[in-house]
Amino acid sequence: MADAGYDDWLAAIADVAEQGSAARETQSRDGEGYYLACPDGHGSLPPRRSCPHCASDELTEESLAETGEIVTFTEVHVPAPSFADEAPYVTAIASFGPVRLTGVVRDVPRSDVELGMKVSPDVDVNATTGEQVLVFRPADE
């Protein structure tokens, strides 16, 4: 199933990870993670036709910060069927300034996950469904 808008957004985040930091430094809008911003600076995620904070329909794509900060997380022990082979797994909400993202934390043991931890968004495969999943990896300091 395709989800117009959302799929493109996820693909952009995946590209960032594949190209590495060198590509990010080119400041090119191609292949960068992005969010939507209204003239007042409110952030939101696609698909979106108007700002959920002020209803402005002048939304532009802005670069998503390379690193965000975990603001809350949980280790899920009782999963839905679509995460049966992942459990236990850590889902976190991370702040990237104007927007927050929700993703599965990868490449770090649960005991090392903490509030305030710096993470980078990426796209990986859900081991149960084989579908794409937004993940957070520890950011290079």
Partner 1 sequence: MNDVRIAGVGLTTFGRYPERTGRDLFAEAALAARDEAGISREDYDEVHYGNFMGELAEGQGHQGPVVAEAAGLDCPATRYESACASAGVAFRQAVQTIRGGGADVVLVGGMERMNNLGTSEVTRSLAIAADELFEVRAGVTFPGAYALMARAYFDEFGGDNEDLAHIAVKNHANAMTNEYAQFHREITVEDALESPVVADPLTLYDACPITDGASAVVLVSGDYADENGLDAPVRVAGSGQGGDKAALQDREYLAQTPAATKAAEMAYADAAISPDDVDVAEVHDCFTIAEVLALESLGFYEPGEGIGAAARGETTSDGDLPVNLSGGLKAKGHPVGATGTAQVVEMTKLLRGDHANSDAVPDARVGVTHNAGGTVASAVVHVLEVMN
The residue ranges that bind partner 1 (CB under 8 A) are 3, 6, 44-45, 52, 71-84, 86, 89, 91, 93, 99-104, 115, 131, 133-134
Should residue 113 be labelled a site residue for Zn ion when binding is judged by CB under 5 A? Answer: no
Burial label for 92, CB within 10 Å (0-12, 13-18, 19+), is buried
3 state DSSP class of 47: coil
Among 7, 31, 42, 61, binds Zn ion (CB under 5 A): 42
122 binding partner (options partner 1, Zn ion, none; Cβ < 5 to 8 Å by kind): none
Q: Which tokens go with 119?
A: 């993470």
Q: 120 pairs with which residues across the strands? A: 137
51 binding partner (options partner 1, Zn ion, none; Cβ < 5 to 8 Å by kind): Zn ion
Per CB under 5 A, contacts with Zn ion among 44-63 are: 51, 53-54, 56
Indicate the residue among 93 and 108 with the shorter CB distance to partner 1.
Answer: 93
CA-based max dimension of the chain: 43
Q: Which tokens go with 24?
A: 């990010």
Indicate the residue among 56 and 82 with the shorter CB distance to Zn ion.
Answer: 56
Indicate the residue among 7 and 61 with the shorter CB distance to partner 1.
Answer: 7
28 binding partner (options Zn ion, partner 1, none; Cβ < 5 to 8 Å by kind): none
Q: DSSP characters for 53-107?
A: TT-----EEEEPPS-EEEEEEEEESS--GGGTTT-SEEEEEEE-SS-EEEEEE-S
Q: Which spans of this chain sit near Zn ion (rule: CB under 5 A)? A: 38, 40, 42, 51, 53-54, 56
